[in-house]
Structure 1
Amino acid sequence: MFGLIGHLTSLEHAQAVAHQLGYPEYGDQGLDFWCSAPPQIVDDITVKSLTGQVIQGKYIESCFLPEMLSQRRIKAAIRKILNAMATAQKNGVDITALGGFSSIVFENFNLKENKQVRDVELDFRRFTTGNTHTAYIICRQVEQMSAQLGIDLAQATVAVCGATGDIGSAVCRWLDQKTDVQDLLLIARDQERLQALQGELGRGKILGLEEALPLADIVVWVASMPRGVDISSIPLKNPCLLIDGGYPKNLDSKLQQPGVHVLKGGIVEHALDIEWKIMEIVEMDVPDRQLFACFAEAMLLEFEQWHTNFSWGRNQITVQKMEQIGAASVKHGFKPLLHF
């Protein structure tokens, strides 16, 4: 059995969909209440592969909200993620994906030092961030959508915003090794990590956001938006392909410029309907078929019986592992979202 640990995009979103989750009493409650609310299994899932194989899963709503990332509430955020992981393990889930901010909180706050959660000793082999599949899907979106827009990768400049993150660094490795992209622009806040990545790749220009974006034919955005940063006034090329791999995906409203095509990055479409309700709550355009690639990774690991932490740790994703999960993705009927 596979599991998916997720969360909603804001307190307002959580209040609006509480009744759909089966907890209408949560709908009128404020952030303090949500900080104390326990994780809940809110969906049972059935997925059928193109091979005919059928698997079962559970969706665990962590009741974490991004507002909990403030310094005053960060302990609540940490508690939410650990409790959701313990809930998955106690319910016999073999492999669980940490969706959205769950994996970021886990990595940034080194939660692997917190194996004991009340009466549960977490077995981290049962969990995956899903980042390998996400990085693979974003790279395939770059390759296929650039062709649709008439952007020749051999003559293109690709800017990766969030280049030193787990997904961003994997995207850079793929573009370096698997494509003939002309130039890579590396954007991140940590200059030491940027220089290490540049050294690993043996290429790439380290630039700031305002300097890099106007030069890029393709922008891969896999970073959180720094507070106070407004990118709406930065002029982009025409045409420009922007892959929005952040969460929540909102760059289409921030970059409304002629010729700028914003694609929801890291989203896959399944060839067959999935029996679940949770993607309606997170407002996917085609909720029976579309989902986050990180969630799909847990499904792929269950289909293949690879019950291991396939994506784990910071900047450990290799092109070889991206190819491995990519082959499984194609086999079982997943494909990148390729329309705006």
Structure 2
Amino acid sequence: MFGLIGHLTSLEHAQSVALELGYPEYADQGLDFWCSAPPQIVDNITVTSITGQKIEGRYVESCFLPEMLATRRIKAATRKILNAMAHAQKHGIDITALGGFSSIIFENFNLEQLRQVRNTTLEFTRFTTGNTHTAYIICQQVEQASKQVGINLSEATVAVCGATGDIGSAVCRWLDAKTDVKELLLIARNQERLEHLQAELGRGKIMGLEQALPEADIIVWVASMPKGVEIDPATLKQPCLLIDGGYPKNMATKIQQSGVYVLNGGIVEHSLDIDWKIMKIVNMEIPGRQLFACFAESMLLEFEKLHTNFSWGRNQITVEKMSRIGQLSLKHGFRPLLVS
């Protein structure tokens, strides 16, 4: 059995979803209540591969909300993720993906050191961040969507915002090794990590955000948007492909400019309908078939009975592992979301 650990995008969103899911006692509660609310299994899932194989899964709502980080309720946020992992493990789930902020919180706050959650000792081989599949899908979106909008990769400049993160660095490795992209622009906050990545790749220009974006034919955004920073679409090239790999996805509503194509990054479509309700709740456009690639990674591992932490640790994603999960993705009927 596979599992998905997720969370909602805001307190307001959580309150409305609680009512829809049949938890009216949660619907009118404030942030303090959500800080103490326990994880819940709120969806049972059946997925059918194009091979005919069927698997069962569970969606675990962690009750984490982004406002917990914004209001410095760090202990509450970390407790949410650990409790959700323990909840999944206690329910016998073999491989669970950490979705949204879950994997970021786990890595940034070194939660691997906190293996004991009350009477449960976490077995980390039961969990995956899903980042390898996410990185692979984003790279496929770069390669395939660029053709859709008339951008030739061999003549293109690709800016990766968040280049030193787990997904960003993997995207850079793939684009360097597997494509003929003309130029890579590396954007991140940590100069030392940028220089290390540049040395690893043997290429790439380290640039600031304001300088890089007007030069880019393709922008891969896999970083959090700094406070007070906005992208002026008038400064972007035309055509420009902007792949929004963040969560929640909101660039399509903020950037509306002729010739600028905003694509929700790290989203896959399945060839067959999935029996679940959770993607409707997170406002996926085609909720029966579209989902986050990180979630799909746990499904792929369950299809193949690879019950192991396929994606784990910062900057451990290799091109070889991306190729492997990509082959499994195609085998079982997943494809990247492209420009409609």
Q: For residues 121 and 331 of structure 1, what CA distance do their matches in structure 2 show?
A: 34
Q: For residues 214 and 22 of structure 1, what CA distance do their matches in structure 2 show?
A: 47
1:239, CA displacement in angstroms? Answer: 0.3
Q: Tell me the alpha carbon deviations over residues 104-157 of structure 1, each in whole angstroms, 9 at most, x when there is no partner.
A: 000000000000000100000000000000000000000000011110000000
Q: Which deviates more from structure 2 when the two are superposed, residues 118-127 or residues 22-31?
A: 22-31
Q: For residues 324 and 256 of structure 1, what CA distance do their matches in structure 2 show?
A: 36
- 1:202 and 2:202 correspond: yes
* Displacement over 3 Å in runs of 4+: none
1:339, CA displacement in angstroms? Answer: 2.6
Q: Is the 8 A contact 1:107 1:314 kept in 2?
A: yes
After TM superposition, the score normalised by the length of structure 1 is 0.99
Q: Is the 8 A contact 2:234 2:257 kept in 1?
A: no
Q: Tell me the alpha carbon deviations over residues 188-235 of structure 1, each in whole angstroms, 9 at most, x when there is no partner.
A: 000000000000000000000000000000000000001121223661
Q: For residues 134 and 72 of structure 2, what CA distance do their matches in structure 1 show?
A: 31
1:71, CA displacement in angstroms? Answer: 5.7
1:86, CA displacement in angstroms? Answer: 0.1
The corresponding residue for 2:126 is 126
Q: Give SS of 2:160's match.
A: strand
The 3 A distance-change label for structure 1 pair 234 and 204 is: farther
Q: Give SS of 2:236's match.
A: coil
Q: For residues 99 and 52 of structure 2, what CA distance do their matches in structure 1 show?
A: 26
Q: For residues 146 and 22 of structure 1, what CA distance do their matches in structure 2 show?
A: 43
Q: Is the 8 A contact 1:210 1:234 kept in 2?
A: no
Q: Is the 8 A contact 2:233 2:260 kept in 1?
A: no
Unaligned runs of 5+ in 2: none
Pairing 1:178-257 to 2, within 5 Å after superposition: 178-232=178-232, 235-257=235-257
For 2:187, give the aligned amino acid. I
Q: Is the 8 A contact 1:146 1:153 kept in 2?
A: yes
Q: Give SS of 2:21's match.
A: coil
Q: Give SS of 2:227's match.
A: coil
Q: Give SS of 1:25's match.
A: helix
Pairing 1:39-50 to 2, within 5 Å after superposition: 39-50=39-50
For 1:245, give the aligned amino acid. G
For 2:339, give the aligned amino acid. H
Q: Is the 8 A contact 1:163 1:194 kept in 2?
A: yes
The corresponding residue for 1:37 is 37
Q: For residues 34 and 234 of structure 1, what CA distance do their matches in structure 2 show?
A: 40
Q: For residues 127 and 22 of structure 2, what CA distance do their matches in structure 1 show?
A: 26
1:20, CA displacement in angstroms? Answer: 2.0
Q: Is the 8 A contact 1:8 1:64 kept in 2?
A: yes
The corresponding residue for 2:67 is 67
- 1:168 and 2:168 correspond: yes
- 1:14 and 2:23 correspond: no
Pairing 1:48-127 to 2, within 5 Å after superposition: 48-70=48-70, 72-127=72-127
Q: Give SS of 1:312's match.
A: coil
Q: For residues 171 and 32 of structure 1, what CA distance do their matches in structure 2 show?
A: 38
The corresponding residue for 1:261 is 261
Q: Which deviates more from structure 2 when the two are superposed, residues 62-71 or residues 199-208?
A: 62-71
Q: For residues 70 and 216 of structure 2, what CA distance do their matches in structure 1 show?
A: 33
Q: For residues 20 and 47 of structure 1, what CA distance do their matches in structure 2 show?
A: 23
